[in-house]
C-alpha cells in the first residue's frame, strides 16, 4: 500500500514538470513568432503595391462633399453615374511597404507589385511626388473645363504661353523666352491648343516653323527648327494654355491626385451643361487624361481601375485607346470596356451605352 502511494506521488511532479516544459516551449514559439511579425513590419522593402481604389461618382459626392459644382452657367438635372477611378498605392519614396505588406500583396490577386525604380526616378522625394500629383490634378481639371465648355457650345478664348524650352532645343532657346505667347504657325493664326495641334501636324519633322509670338506686347516671328518625336514635328517647347472660362467650376476630390480623371471630369461638366442625363441613368466609369485639344491620354494602373469600377457597380468603362492592350484577359465579369481616343469618342460612347446601342463600338479586353 505504502509502496503504491509513493509511486503515485513520485509520478505527479513529473507530469507537472512536463506541462511546464510544454508551456515554456509554446511561450517561446509565440515570442519568436511575435518578434518575427514585428520585425516584418519594421523591415521596409523598395517596392510599390497597387490595388483597386475608390471610384467616386463625379455627379455625386465624395467624402461628404459634392464633387462637381458649376456657377455662372445654366445647368440641367442629371442622373446615373460617371465614375472616375483610382488606384490605392502602398510604397514609393518615403513610404515603402513593410516586408509583411509585401508578402500579403503576393497573395492578393488584385495587387500589382512593382520595383520602386520602375515607377519613380532615383532621388525622388515624397514631397515631390505629392506636388506633382497635385499639379497634374489641377491641370486635368483645367483641361476638362475647357474641353467640356467647348463641346457644350461655349466660346472659350485661349492664350498659348511658352512655359519652358528643352535643353536639346538649343536654337529655340536662343530665339524664344518663357512667357512668350504663340500667335501663329507658318502664317496661320493660333487661337487655341486645337489650332496649334492642327497646324503642327502639317509640319514635316526637321522643317523650320515660322513661329509668330508676342513678347511684352511686341509681335515677333522666328524660324524655329523642329525634330522628330513619334513621327511628329516638335519644337521642344513646354506650353501653358491659359483659357478664359465663361463660368466657374469647382471640383472637390479630397487628396486624390494625378491627371487620370480628366476625361470623366469633362464628361460630368458636359452632362450638367446639356439637357437630359447623358448616362441614361446607368453607372459608367472610366479613366484617361484630357488635354485642352480634347485628346484622351493613357494612364497607369488600368487593370486595378477596371476592378475598382466593377466593385463600385459600373457596368461600362471608358478606357484610353493606348491602354487597351493591357486589358486583354483582365476585364472583370459584368463590365464592358470601350476604347476612346477623344472627348467626342467619349461622349458618343456614353450616349450609345445610355440607349443600349453599343453594337459596333470599339472595345478593349
The residues annotated as belonging to the active site are 260, 305
3-state secondary structure the chain: CHHHHHHHHHHHHHHHHHHHHHHHHHHHHHHHHHHHHHHHHHCECCEEEEEECCCCECCCEECCEECEEEECCCCCCCCCEEEECCEEEEECCCCCCEHHHHHHHHCCCCCEEEEHHHHCCCCCCHHHHHHHHHHHHHHHHHHHHHHHHHHCCCCCCEEEEEEEECCCCHHHHHHCCCCCEEEEECCEECCCHHHHHHHHCCCCCCCCEEEEEEECCEEEEEEECCEEECCEEECCEEEEEEECCCCEEEECCCCCCCCCCHHHHHHHHHHHHCCCCCCCCCEEEECCEECCCCEEECCCCHHHHHHHHHHCCCCEEEEEHHHHHHHCCCCCCCCEEEEECEHHHHHHHHHHHHHCCCCCCCECC
Amino acid at each position: 500500500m505504502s509502496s503504491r502511494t509513493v509511486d503515485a506521488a513520485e509520478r505527479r511532479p513529473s507530469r507537472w514538470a512536463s506541462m511546464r516544459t510544454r508551456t515554456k516551449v509554446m511561450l517561446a514559439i509565440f515570442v519568436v513568432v511575435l518578434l518575427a511579425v514585428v520585425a516584418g513590419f519594421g523591415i521596409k522593402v523598395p517596392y510599390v503595391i497597387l490595388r483597386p481604389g475608390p471610384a467616386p461618382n463625379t455627379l455625386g459626392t465624395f467624402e461628404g462633399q459634392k464633387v462637381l459644382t458649376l456657377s455662372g452657367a445654366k445647368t440641367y438635372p442629371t442622373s446615373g453615374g460617371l465614375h472616375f477611378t483610382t488606384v490605392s498605392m502602398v510604397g514609393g519614396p518615403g513610404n515603402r511597404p513593410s516586408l509583411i505588406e509585401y508578402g500579403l500583396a503576393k497573395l492578393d490577386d488584385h495587387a500589382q507589385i512593382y520595383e520602386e525604380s520602375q515607377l519613380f526616378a532615383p532621388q525622388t522625394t515624397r514631397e515631390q511626388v505629392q506636388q506633382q500629383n497635385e499639379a497634374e490634378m489641377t491641370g486635368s481639371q483645367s483641361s476638362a473645363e475647357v474641353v467640356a465648355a467647348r463641346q457644350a457650345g461655349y466660346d472659350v478664348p485661349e492664350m498659348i504661353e511658352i512655359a519652358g524650352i528643352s535643353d536639346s532645343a538649343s536654337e529655340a532657346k536662343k530665339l524664344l523666352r518663357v512667357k512668350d505667347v504663340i500667335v501663329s504657325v507658318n502664317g496661320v493664326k493660333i487661337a487655341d491648343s486645337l489650332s496649334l495641334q492642327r497646324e503642327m501636324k502639317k509640319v514635316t519633322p526637321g522643317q523650320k516653323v515660322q513661329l509668330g509670338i508676342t513678347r511684352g506686347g511686341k509681335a515677333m516671328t522666328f524660324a524655329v527648327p523642329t525634330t522628330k518625336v513619334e513621327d511628329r514635328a516638335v519644337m521642344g517647347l513646354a506650353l501653358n494654355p491659359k483659357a478664359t472660362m465663361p463660368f466657374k467650376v469647382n471640383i472637390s476630390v479630397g487628396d486624390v491626385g494625378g491627371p487620370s480623371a480628366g476625361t470623366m471630369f469633362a464628361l460630368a461638366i458636359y452632362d450638367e451643361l446639356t439637357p437630359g442625363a447623358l448616362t441614361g441613368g446607368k453607372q459608367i466609369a472610366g479613366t484617361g487624361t484630357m488635354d485642352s485639344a480634347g485628346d484622351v491620354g493613357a494612364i497607369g494602373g488600368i487593370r486595378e481601375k477596371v476592378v475598382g469600377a466593377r466593385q463600385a457597380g459600373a457596368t461600362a468603362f471608358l478606357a484610353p485607346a493606348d491602354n487597351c492592350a493591357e486589358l486583354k484577359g483582365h476585364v472583370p465579369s459584368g463590365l464592358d470596356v470601350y476604347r476612346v481616343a477623344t472627348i467626342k469618342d467619349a461622349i458618343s460612347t456614353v450616349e450609345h451605352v445610355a440607349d443600349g446601342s453599343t453594337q459596333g463600338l470599339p472595345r478593349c479586353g
